């Protein structure tokens, strides 16, 4: 399974648009995706801090590779976004973690994507931007209802290691209430992000409708 660069496009596109009020009661993404590309100082983000408030992404201009993503609708904790690149329409369900541990670690916002790109014959592709540089060569693990799904990692992004298991994961997400993602930072700090699955079934159905 290759590292599809468009996810970065989604990440930026999301982080940039500034849909914070409507998008998640958390922070809506709004940039324009490429593969999760870490910042030069990403390794320094994973240090303890006294202020435990999560830093919010600053507005940015969408990348020239496509249009800025548009929030179509919000279902519970999941927003449905649509964007367009020269090659394909992109539709995705997006959420941010409800809880991040350890709470004292400084890091950028995290995002969980389920994206569909009909022009590339890609549907329900799962990917994560964790908000810090991950340990080189290390895996991340998604735990949902007692079942574990290994993710391979690169920089600050993670993808399902066995692409054949994506359909199984999507089905589990439709039935569960939440899931957690465990990973290890470049500095060796173990982290756990917990995501709510409130609204995920409706969000996935809408993504399918928008990108038939």
Looking at per-residue confidence, does 210 or 27 come out higher? Answer: 210
Q: If you average pLDDT over residues 20-38, what whole number do you get?
A: 32
pLDDT confidence tier of residue 66, bands split at 50, 70 and 90: low
- Max CA distance (Å), the chain: 47
> What average pLDDT does the structure give for the chain?
78
Q: Does CATH place domain 6-210 in 2.60.40.1880?
A: yes
Q: What one-character-per-residue DSSP string does 10-79 give?
A: HHHHHHHS--TTTSSSS----B---S-PPPTTGGGGSSB-S--SPPPPPP-PPPTTSPPPEEEEEETTEE
Domain residue ranges in the chain: 6-210
- Cα–Cα distance measured from residue 118 to residue 139, given in angstroms and rounded to the nearest whole number: 28
Residue 207 has pLDDT above 80, yes or no: yes
Under a CB-based contact definition with an 8 Å cutoff, are residues 31 and 17 in contact? yes
pLDDT digit string (tens) for 100-153? 999 999 999 999 999 999 999 999 999 999 999 999 888 999 999 999 999 999
- Cα–Cα distance measured from residue 157 to residue 35, given in angstroms and rounded to the nearest whole number: 8
Residue 165 has pLDDT above 80, yes or no: yes
Q: What one-character-per-residue DSSP string does 192-211 give?
A: EEEEE-TTHHHHHHHHHHHT
* CA-wise closest residue to 128 among 116, 140, 112: 112
* CA-wise closest residue to 129 among 117, 113, 142, 107: 113
Q: State whether the Cα torsion 132-16-158-110 is positive or negative.
A: positive
Q: What is the pLDDT of residue 28?
A: 35
Percent of the chain with pLDDT over 90: 66
Q: What is the pLDDT of residue 120?
A: 95
Burial (CB count within 10 angstroms: exposed 0-12, middle 13-18, buried 19+), residue 93: buried
Q: Give the count of alpha carbons within 13 A of 65, CB side only.
A: 19
- Cα–Cα distance measured from residue 10 to residue 112, given in angstroms and rounded to the nearest whole number: 11
Residue 91 has pLDDT above 60, yes or no: yes
Under a CB-based contact definition with an 8 Å cutoff, are residues 190 and 68 in contact? no
């Amino acid at each position: 399974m290759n590292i599809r660069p468009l996810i970065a496009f989604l990440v930026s596109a999301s982080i940039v648009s500034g849909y914070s009020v409507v998008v998640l009661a958390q922070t809506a993404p709004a940039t324009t995706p490429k593969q999760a590309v870490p910042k030069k100082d990403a390794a320094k983000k994973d240090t303890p801090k006294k202020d435990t408030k999560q830093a919010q992404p600053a507005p940015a201009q969408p990348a020239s590779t496509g249009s800025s993503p548009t929030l179509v609708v919000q279902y519970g904790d999941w927003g449905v976004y649509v964007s367009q690149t020269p090659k394909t329409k992109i539709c995705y369900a997006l959420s941010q973690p409800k809880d991040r541990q350890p709470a004292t670690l400084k890091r950028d916002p995290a995002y969980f994507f389920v994206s569909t790109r009909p022009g590339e014959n890609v549907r329900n592709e799962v990917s994560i931007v964790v908000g810090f540089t991950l340990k080189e060569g290390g895996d991340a693990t998604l735990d949902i209802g007692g079942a574990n799904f290994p993710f391979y990692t690169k920089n600050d992004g993670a993808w399902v290691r066995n692409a054949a298991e994506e359909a199984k994961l999507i089905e589990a997400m439709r039935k569960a209430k939440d899931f957690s993602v465990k990973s290890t930072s470049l500095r060796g700090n173990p982290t756990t992000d917990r995501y709510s699955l409130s609204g995920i079934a409706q969000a996935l159905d809408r993504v399918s409708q928008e990108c038939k």
